[in-house]
């Protein structure tokens, strides 16, 4: 009697383990399928996100004259493309790694800064071409960083920076290293050097 009970218990345990194993295998299979689907979709999402932001870049930076000529139409087209870019960012945030998603956010943030600057300052005394250049190169740096991280995630090698970005880095570095001449007003207000005892 006891032997029959033990045999029945063993059979139940084996059946339970078998069900657990089947369930776990199904879970792993579904997870792998979901991951495969994400990986299959990711290159297209990256490509469309980059394309949308390149289009926004062309519509945003250094477009003050075109903006002035047809502000309403330009703004409507710009915001429509921006919404498309944000939808693609949402897709990246659920399919790409956290590093790629964060890099994509930085691209969107830099584009948003450029759009806001154009919308609110292009026809005001605050408009400054040098500041717009800074915003543009901020976008270019973010876009290149996103490209490198995306290629790494897809198992591809990195690409060297575009020539224009390299020249900008070189000029910026050289400009930062140059001594800044003080204006007369600055010289007048400057405090005398502090004498130190030998």
Please tell me the predicted confidence (pLDDT) of residue 132: 84
Mean pLDDT confidence for 1-15: 63
Give tens-digit pLDDT for 167-181: 988 888 765 665 544
* Residue 197 burial (CB count, 10 A): 3
Give tens-digit pLDDT for 122-148: 777 777 878 888 889 999 999 999 999
Give tens-digit pLDDT for 18-77: 666 655 554 444 445 545 556 688 999 999 999 999 999 988 887 767 766 776 777 888
- The CATH-assigned architecture of domain 39-157 is Up-down Bundle (1.20)
Mean pLDDT of the chain: 77
Determine what percent of the chain is predicted with pLDDT higher than 90: 35
Q: Tokens representing 44?
A: 């297209």
Query: What is the C-alpha to C-alpha distance for residues 133 and 135, in angstroms, rounded to an integer?
Result: 5
Mean pLDDT confidence for 7-15: 64
Query: What is the C-alpha to C-alpha distance for residues 42 and 39, in angstroms, rounded to an integer?
Result: 5
Residue 169 class from Cβ within 10 Å (0-12 exposed, 13-18 middle, 19+ buried)? middle
Q: Tokens representing 21?
A: 């194993």
Please tell me the predicted confidence (pLDDT) of residue 31: 46
Phi and psi for 81 in degrees, rounded to 5?
A: -70, -35
């Amino acid at each position: 009697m006891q032997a029959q009970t033990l045999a029945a218990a063993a059979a139940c345990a084996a059946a339970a383990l078998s069900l657990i194993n089947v369930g776990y295998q199904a879970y792993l299979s579904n997870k792998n399928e979901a991951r495969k689907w994400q990986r299959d979709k990711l290159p297209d999402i990256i490509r469309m996100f980059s394309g949308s932001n390149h289009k926004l870049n062309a519509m945003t930076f250094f477009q003050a004259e075109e903006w002035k000529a047809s502000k309403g139409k330009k703004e409507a087209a710009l915001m429509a493309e921006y919404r498309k870019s944000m939808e693609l960012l949402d897709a990246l945030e659920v399919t790409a790694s956290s590093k790629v998603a964060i890099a994509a956010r930085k691209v969107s943030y830099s584009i948003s800064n450029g759009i806001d600057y154009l919308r609110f300052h292009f026809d005001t005394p605050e408009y400054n071409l040098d500041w717009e250049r800074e915003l543009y190169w901020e976008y270019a740096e973010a876009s290149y960083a996103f490209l490198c991280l995306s290629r790494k995630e897809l198992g591809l090698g990195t690409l060297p920076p575009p020539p224009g970005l390299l020249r900008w880095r070189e000029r910026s570095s050289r400009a930062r290293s140059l001594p800044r001449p003080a204006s007369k007003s600055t010289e007048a207000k400057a405090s005398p050097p502090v004498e130190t005892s030998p």
